[in-house]
Amino acid sequence: MDKEEVIIKNKFNALTASEILRELYSKELDSKKNILEYIDITRVLS
């Protein structure tokens, strides 16, 4: 990993779940479909 990747990963790890939702998904978790999409996105990122 280069220095930039490490910085990005550290910033991501410092985010809360609600911040991740707001920044990357920007949809309400009000349906099963949206919840499953959100889980898929966060699984890929972790």
The DSSP symbol for 30 reads -
Determine the length of the chain.
Answer: 46
Which is more confident, 38 or 20? 38
Predicted TM-score (pTM) of the model is: 0.47
Over residues 19-41, mean pLDDT = 81
How many domains is the chain partitioned into structurally?
1
Q: How far apart are CA 34 and CA 43, in angstroms?
A: 14
Asked whether residue 17 carries a pLDDT value surpassing 80, the answer given is no
Q: How far apart are CA 45 and CA 39, in angstroms?
A: 10
pLDDT grade for 8, boundaries at 50, 70 and 90: confident
Q: How far apart are CA 30 and CA 27, in angstroms?
A: 9
Q: Give the domain range for residue 36.
A: 3-45
pLDDT at residue 33, rounded to an integer: 92
